[in-house]
Each structure stands twice: as structure tokens, then as C-alpha cells.
Structure 1
Amino acid sequence: MYLYTAQAMREADQRAVAMGYPSLLLMEAAGKQAASRLLQRFEGRAVDVLCGKGNNGGDGLVAARWLAHWGHPVRVYAAEGQTGDAAVARQALLAHGLEIAPLSAWEPAPHSVVLDALFGTGLRGPLEGFYAALVEKVNQSGLPVVAVDLPSGLPHRPHIQADLTVALAGLKNEHLFYPHRAACGRIVLESIGMPPRALHNPHLPEVLCKTSMRPLLPARPGNAHKGLVGRVLVAGGYRSYTGAPSLAALGAYRTGAGLVTVAYPADCVVNPPLEAVRLPLLEWNHADLQAVRAEAVAVGMGAAAGGVRAALAALELGKPTVLDADALHKQVLSAYVKAGLPTVLTPHPGEASRLLEIPSEQIARAPLEAAQALAERYPGLVVVLKGGPTVLAWQPQEAPLSPPLLAVNSSGNPSMATGGMGDVLSGVVAALLAAGLSAWEAARLGVYLHGLAGDLASKPGLLAHEVAEALPSAMRQLQLGGVRDFWEPC
């Protein structure tokens, strides 16, 4: 599944038409799906359909016709001047005997529902004048709103605040990225019959979902033992951050690692899981770490000033590595690029800001672009830019002229915004690396599982170790097919 921009979806529409698929069928399916979802959520209430001049308005006109056909009370308010498929939809509606009032005549009616089909993904700037006032009038009415594809006005202000958004054909950026996602309310994704080849576009970001993540789950053989299913070395810790390496170790164990060794400064009181091997060190050096048998390393969690030394010592092990927190320095990343090891780095926006030398606010506004910039600056390293949602990027060293691979996570929730969550994620990814997954596979599956565990454990006051404890349930549900992605109907 891909994440579409407005331009990418227009190109998909054009490919479908070029293949011989009539665009009018797409509009017919879109309107019918929107009407159906509205009735499922708000059956028994009259519907006011607000339609613009473009194809989104045409979807609304089709929806109004189906609502009337199903015997549902509906009032239609539309702009004048539809062309193409939207004009055909208007004529079909009139043929059914429905009246179309001008948009200026709309007034909120008690106990009704608004179907917002004013503007879709083609909006080129903020709404002004009459349409800006209409959007504000809808928002102030207090009526529930169902948006067709996108709440009108997004990604600008003012925009409709919807209770339900029926996404059509594919998810758009606004469906996943905040603050726009908050305007969509509940999101359901509906097929409109577009040929799969028309939607296929590997240059777009992948949306991490159960369908693509389930095949990546590592198999556990019947003759498994702790040395066969992946051994992880966690290197981190400082006097003020003794919990960080412990949480990473817990995340690794709960993701299936057979053995976890925690290396930390000897002057720290670190309490890793009882099952972990402890390795207190007087200093970070390659010789001491070399004695640990491990297939993957997670380094930097809570290491403070020792993060660079720990990461450079771990580099000499030649193992797949997760670099987090205090290991995220330019010197370290450049050394790992030169070494060519499978490596995953997991910065939050503040750490990415330091690496890219741009304000963290700019990264928060454009996380995909920031992750891509990091991947291009450090080719071969998989970038996991943590946030809501987390985004991933990877520029393979063997393909420097190709655009980086991009992915956006769909699992997780705001209750995970607490200390230690990133440490658990580092352990999860390290365990998957130790199990034999590539860096790109381990990062994508690890991020999705981490968010899914957060969804299963979600509650006010959620703690990082509780997410770690939910990881086995997340893996089991994904394996058994019991996961429901957020855009699927209830």
C-alpha cells in the first residue's frame, strides 16, 4: 500500500483512464461508498450534501442520488458550473427528481448530518471569501460531518472538522500526518474499483500495514535454542539514564531474542531483565565487547558522553547495529557508512535537527523530507525518524542515483509519547536484526510491531515497559491475522 499526494492520485486516475477504465465509474463508486459509510454511522438522520464544482462535488452528487434511491431523506446544495463527469452526475441526480439548491441557501438543520463534498485533494491554496465562511459555518453548526476523501480545506486553514472521512482508492498524506489527521476524525479507506496497476507506484512511500508486515515475521524453528534465534548486545547507560539499556534489553527479549547481554559503565547501577547477561565496563573498548557472542548490537541508549566511544567500539564487531540517542553523532554515522554494515539509526526530531543542522520545527512539519535528507546524507543507513507517525528512509549504497525508499508507519498512538519508548524500539529492531532480517526489513517490522504493541496496551499513563510486555501479543496477533489497521471498518 502506498501513500499518495494529490498529484500522485491524479496520475493514478489518468493511468486508469488510459487503461480503458471509465472515469465516470470511479466517481460512481466513490459516491456510493461515501453514502454507504454515512448510513452505517448515522442511519436515521437527514443528510445535507454540500457539493463543489469539481470531481469531489461530483462524488457528492452521486452520493446524494444513492441516498435518495435507498429512501433516505436528503437535501442537496451545490455550486454551479460542473463539467465532465461531475456534470453527468448532476444530470443523473436531476433525472431522479431531486432538487439542487445553491450552496448559499444552506442553513444547519437540527439532527441532520453534513456530507462534505466541496473540495478534495485538488485544492491549490487556502479557502477564502464565501467558501471560507461556509466551512466555518459547518464547523460552528455542531452537526456531525462526513468528508468525501478529505475534509474540505485541507491541508490549509480554514478546513472542515470531520467526524468521519471516507478515503477513496488510497490514503493521502493528510490521513496519516498530524495536525491534518486530527481534522479527519475516524478514517475508513474504500476501494472505488481502480485497476491495481493504476495505483501501483513504487516511488511513493509505503504505508506499513498488516498485509506487508506479516510476511516479515521471523519463523522460530522447532529445534530452536537461545543461540539459534538471535543474540543481542545492548551497549549504553549513564549515571542518570540507567533505565535506557534495560528497556532496550526488555524490548529485544520480548521480540524473540534468545540471549541479551547488557554492557554498561561500571559506575552505573543498571538493572536489566533477570534473564540478561550483565557486562559492567570500566571503559568502552572493542576488546571487552568482542568477548560477547551476538548477531546484532543496539548502542547509545542513555550513554550520554560515552555514546560516541561506545558506538565506535561496537563498530569493530562488524555486526548489524542499531544506533540510538547518544550514538547519533556525525562522526559515528560517517564511520558506519564507510564500514558498510547493516545499520539502523533511530533519531527523534531533536536529534535529526542536530544531524541536519535545521530547526526541529522544520523537521516536525516535513518529516518525510527530513528522513529522506538523512538517508541521502548517510547512504546505506536506514533512517527511522520517530514521531507521530514514524517515517523511514533508506538510500541503498548500490543505487546512489535512485530516490531513497520511504515508508510511513500506521500503528501507534499518542499515549506512547512517554520516556523510554525509543529505547524499547531499539531493542525490538536489534532483535529482528539478530534473527536475520535485513536492516530495511527489521526497521519496518520493528516500528510496526512497536506501534501495534502500543495500540494493544494503550491507556492513559502508558509506560514504556508496558509496551515491551505487549510485544508478544502484537506478534501473535499479526501472525494469526487478528490485527485491524486503523482505516479498516469496525
Structure 2
Amino acid sequence: MIRTTFQKLSLPCLSLKKCEMDSLKLMKCIKGCVPPLDGGSHKGQAGRIGIIGGSLEYTGAPYFAGISALKVGADLVHIFCASPAATVIKSYSPELIVHPLLDQPNATNEISPWLDRLHAVVIGPGLGRDKQTFEVVSELINVMRQKCIPLIIDADGLFLITENPHLIKDYPLPGVILTPNKIEFERLQAKLIGSYGHVDLSQLGGHVSILGKGQTDEFFSGCAEVQWQNGTGGSGRRCGGQGDLLSGTIATFLHWTLNNKDLVADAEMENVDKSTLAASLSCYAASSMIRLCNQKAFQLKGRSMLATDMIDHIHDSFEELFGQ
């Protein structure tokens, strides 16, 4: 993963203290959320994930996000992309349901009915920075706000939010997870400087969390009890696509943890918001798994490792961390 360290959030309530939940406790909670393969569920229950992204220039990113969500265990993935990207994305995998709607005249009206089917939505992989696309995505965020759909925002989606933080301000539960790398994090920090010169995450409201990606991944939240750091696994190889794999993985785990949020909050965290805890657990699960995939792929491919090589290790990494 990226070899960087993030500047800590400075407000007392947001400073990253020693993790209240150690790795063993985190893993125990996560394992309790993984749906069993006992034949007792129907198609769709394990996750219907949406990806908003994909443009003429960037077709790989939405594929990486979508295929990781599926291979972790989601049942269905819908990708909402610009029309030039659709055929290319479809050619990568027949399992992905691709909607070439982002650049259509009535894009928001065309996409909105599909949102009711989705358990979580990732915004940003391969999105690009076209002004018209940003206008459509901004409208869709407002629609999803009304429907209380949990969001994971990455890549160019983070650029949109950094320029327009009001789009997610006071977003309702289950909330929003931002997944910036070092540069994206610094841009966000510059936008959220409070009156005392400190980074003030509370400007975005109480239901926005940040997973800072780096040599050590760090989860920031207004709730100190669910914050953590994770530096296990990974390698020195930083190829494109790893963040997309991460965002899709978070989406699937987020659906599972939200589905079981009433079961994982024990007596020690009875005052912790359960949706915030679910966000923390999903990010830790995804961070641990993608870092392990990176490590395994690097051991085989070294400097030649690509994100596609990491996909091949999703299954064995999942079993090693979480069981079947």
C-alpha cells in the first residue's frame, strides 16, 4: 500500500488514540457478520452493490470495484457509467450489470429507480471530472440522502466532495465513508480547517467517517472508540487499482455489518452508534483483506504485480482471515 503517514486529526474528540478495539476483537465481530453459506438465503440477500463511475478514459476502476465486491461475496453488482465505458466494462466480466446512463439527458431519473434495490453504493471509481457528470452525481447523492443509502466515496468522487463538502454534510445514517489516499486526504484537510487551525471532521456531520489509506491505514471517526490503525500485510508495490478493490470490498462488508449491527455492539460499546461501528468494522475487514491480497500477489510477482494479480488472492485471503 502507499508508504505515507497521515497527519493526525487534531481535535481532542477526533485524535487517533490507541485503538479501543484490538485486532482480535475487531476480527471476532467481523466474522460474526459474515453470512453463512448454508443455503438459507436467496439471491440478493448477501449484497446488491452499486458502483457510480466509469468514463471514456477510465474503465478498469469500476470493474475492479465491482469484481472485488462480487468475489468477497456480494450477489449482484450494478455499475452506472458513461456510455463509452459500458461495452468495455461488460467485456471484462459478464457478472457485472452495466447501465450506460451517467451521460444520458435524464440520467438522474433513469438511475434513481435502481437505487431502491441497492444495499450500498460506491461513488468515484473511474468517474472522471466532467462537469456534467459531476452535476448528475451531485443530484444522485441528494436522492440517496433521501433514501438513506450508505455511501463509500473514493477517487474522483472525493474530488467532487472536497470541492462541494455540503453534498454530504449531515448525511443521515447509515452514513458516508470517505477513502482518501495521502494527496486526497491533504486536499480534504485543507478544506476542513476549523477556527483553531485544526482539522474539523465535525463540519461534515456526525455520520461521516474517513479511511485514510497509507503504509498504515487509519480509520477516523467522531467516535474515538471505533478508531484504529492497521499496518499488517501490504508491500512496497503501489500499482493502480488497489483503492478500487478496497472500495468494492468495503461495500460488501458494510452491508453485512449493517445487517448485524445489533449483534456486534457489546456492553463495552453500548453508547457507540451502531452504524458507525459497522462502518469501522467494514473498513477494517477490507483493509486487512486487500493488504493480505497485496502481500500474497507481491510474493509471487514482485515489481510486476498488478491489481489483477491481487484479485486472484481474494478467495484465499478471505478464508485465511474470516473462514468460509
TM-score range, shorter chain: 0.7 to 0.9
Q: Secondary structure at the match of 2:99?
A: strand
Instruction: Spell out, residue by residue over 1:333-388, the C-alpha distance to the aligned partner (whole angstroms, 9 max, x if none).
Output: 43223222421111111111222228xxxxxxxxxxxxx93644434211011111
Match for residue 440 of structure 1?
280
Cα distance change of structure 1 residues 251 and 373 upon mapping to structure 2, 3 Å threshold = farther
Q: AA paired with 1:220?
A: P
Report how far residue 472 of structure 1 moved: 1.9
The answer as to 2:166 corresponding to 1:339 is no
What residue is the counterpart of 1:326 in the other structure? 156
Measured after TM superposition, the shift of residue 392 of structure 1 is 1.1
Letter in 1 for 2:167: A
Q: What's the TM-score, normalizing by structure 2? A: 0.73
Q: Deviations over 1:416-460 (max 9, x none)?
A: 411010011010001112234322221121111211222232231
Between Structure 1 and Structure 2, which shows a larger proportion of helix residues? 2
Match of 2:65 among 248, 259, 281: 248
Shift of 1:216: 0.6
Match of 2:89 among 271, 275, 278: 271
1:406 to partner: Cα distance: 2.6
Q: Which amino acid aligns with 2:169?
A: V
Matched, 1:297 2:118: no
Structure 2 counterpart of 1:479, one-letter code: F
C-alpha deviations, 1:261-307, integer Å up to 9, x for none? 11100122532522111100134843222232211101111111235
* Residue matched to 1:487: none
Consecutive unaligned residues of structure 1, counting only runs of 5 or more, are 1-176, 180-201, 359-371, 397-402, 482-490
1:259 has 2:76 as partner: yes
Aligned equivalent of 1:204, options 2, 18, 28 = 18
C-alpha deviation, 1:405, in angstroms: 4.5
CA distance in 1, matches of 2:84, 2:25: 46
Structure number having the greater strand percentage: 1
- Residues 452, 340 of structure 1: alpha-carbon distance in 2 compared, 3 angstrom cutoff: same
TM-score between the two structures when normalised by the length of structure 1 = 0.49
Contact 2:55–2:83 (CA<8 Å) still a contact in 1?
A: no
The DSSP-based 3-state class of the residue aligned with 2:312 is: helix
Partner of 1:288: 110
Q: 1:456 to 1:209 in 2, by over 3 A?
A: farther
CA distance, structure 2, for counterparts of residue 374 and residue 418 of structure 1: 31
Q: CA 1:319–1:247 in structure 2 vs 1: closer, same or farther (change >3 Å)? A: same
User: Which residue of 2 is the match for residue 19 of structure 1?
Assistant: none
1:74-223 alignment runs, 5 A limit: 203-205=17-19, 209-210=23-24, 212-217=26-31, 218-220=34-36, 222=38, 223=40
Alignment counterpart, residue 348 of structure 1, candidates 164, 181, 189:
181
Match of 1:469 among 301, 304, 312: 312
Q: Which runs of structure 2 are paired with 1:353-392 in the superposition (5 Å)?
A: 353-357=186-190, 373=199, 375-378=201-204, 379-392=206-219
Q: RMSD in angstroms over aligned alpha carbons?
A: 2.9
Partner of 1:165: none
Q: Match for 1:340: what amino acid?
A: P
Instruction: Name 2:195's counterpart in structure 1.
Output: none
Letter in 1 for 2:211: V
- Mean CA deviation greater in 385-394 or 375-384: 375-384
Q: Which amino acid aligns with 2:88?
A: V
CA distance, structure 2, for counterparts of residue 211 and residue 456 of structure 1: 24
What SS does structure 2 have at the residue aligned with 1:263? Answer: strand
Q: CA deviation at 1:234?
A: 0.6
Distance, in Å, in 1 between the alignment partners of 2:250 and 2:135 is: 20
Structure 2 gap segments, 5+ residues each: 6-15, 192-197, 259-277
Instruction: Write the letter of the residue equivalent to 1:289.
Output: I
Provide the residue aligned with 2:292 in structure 1. 452
Q: Report the CA distance between 1:311 and its aligned residue.
A: 5.0
Whether the 8 Å CA contact 1:308–1:326 is kept in 2: the answer is no
Match of 1:137 in 2: none
Give, in whole Å, the separation in 2 of the partners of 1:455 and 1:322: 24
2:232 alignment counterpart = 411
- Does the CA-based 8 Å contact 1:409-1:448 persist in structure 2? yes
Structure 1 residue 308: Cα displacement? 6.0
Greater RCO structure (CA 8 Å; 6+ sep): 2
User: After alignment, is 425-434 or 285-294 more displaced?
Assistant: 285-294
CA distance in 1, matches of 2:29, 2:305: 29
Contact 1:321 1:344 (8 Å CA) reproduced:
yes
Amino acid at match of 1:392: F
Partner of 1:20: none
Question: What secondary structure does 2:35 align onto?
Answer: coil
- 1:4 aligns with none
Q: Which moved more, 1:457-466 or 1:320-329?
A: 457-466
DSSP-derived class of the 1:350 partner: helix
CA–CA distance in 2 between the matches of 1:439 and 1:299?
16
